[in-house]
Amino acid sequence: MVPLALTILCFYRILTWWYSIDSDCTAPIAIKALKRTNRLAWVIAAAFTGWSLTLFEFGDAYMQSHVAFYMGITVIGCIFCLSHLRSAAFIVSLVVNVAFIGFFSETGNRVFVAMAVDVALVSVAMLVVLCVQYRDFTNLVAKQRETQALSDENRRLANVDSLTGMPNHRCFFAELDIAFAEAQSKRKTFAVGLLDLDGFKPVNDIYGHAVGDQLLIEVGERLSRVCDKVFVSRLGGDEFAFIVPDAESRDLFALGEEICALMRAPFLVSEAIVQISGSAGFAVYPEVGNSSMQLYERADYALYQAKR
């Protein structure tokens, strides 16, 4: 019954790992699986070791040698297979080698004692190699994580306006292409909007660039608060852009009025009250454009008309 139970347990573990190959493995799931492996390492190592040693007294010299060989080669194989989970490898090695060395040392047979010493020395050597490989593996993972973090930061910097923290010119056009492709495939409407600040240059000239920069930050914060579910970005200078999903002409007119009213409200910047205004223009897909760039150009033309 013991061999059958151990065989069923092994097949169950094989099937568990096999069916988990294609599943999404999040960090909590992976940690849980690793902890479970550590717990099972004690149980499985002790069970197989105990079963092997109970067979020893029932065999002849060849059978007893096979038991010793089986235990030695199996523990080495387990250490190798658990090279990426060092704790489990140490658990298996500890359980098997303590029992192996203790049992065969008590036999009084010098051959078995020598085998026990050999297996212990090989296990120690493999554990040393495992520790070195594990250290290199963890360093590799850390370097990969560091590289990924740097890559993510570079991507963020490439798509974020350094002054306002809003999406920048590059990010806007990438998002515009995505919105256009989605609208085409799902037969939806969306609008591209442009906002230009009126009176920004005199503020820069009178109060200086520091106040002008602070004013742009305040404008970005106002736009981000009012434009719910609208992608807002700064294209550069005093020009901002919008991508409005599921756009209707009357809603765009109301949105444009609200944005312009926000721009007319006084700004308190560096203890100075600054008054500016804004002009906005929108272009709706598919009414006035059949490509993302055409929509942008039509929105720019609408902005030009609004400023006249």
Do 137 and 16 share a structural domain?
Answer: yes
Split at pLDDT 50, 70, 90, the class of 197 is very high
Distance CA 105, CA 94 (A): 16
Query: How far is the CA of 188 from the CAs of 133, 180, 231, 246, 258, in angstroms?
Result: 54, 9, 16, 6, 24
Q: Is 162 within a domain? A: no
Instruction: Supply the range of the domain harboring residue 223.
Output: 169-307
Average pLDDT over residues 28-33: 85
The answer to whether residue 238 is catalytic is yes
Q: Annotated catalytic residue: which of 60, 238, 246, 251?
A: 238
CATH number of domain containing 269: 3.30.70.270
pLDDT score recorded for residue 160: 92
Classify residue 82 by its DSSP letter. Answer: T
Cα-trace Rg, the chain: 35
Tell me, rounded to whole angstroms, the distance of Cα 103 from its chain centroid: 49
pLDDT tens digits for 108-124?
788 888 888 888 888 88
Q: What is the total count of domains within the chain?
A: 2
Among 285, 75, 120, smallest CA distance to 193 is for 285
pLDDT score recorded for residue 191: 92
In this prediction the pTM is 0.61
In the listed set 153, 186, 205, which residue is the last one of a domain according to the structure? Answer: 153
Residue 166 contacts by C-beta under 8 Å, 6 or more apart in sequence?
160, 220, 224, 232, 233, 234, 240
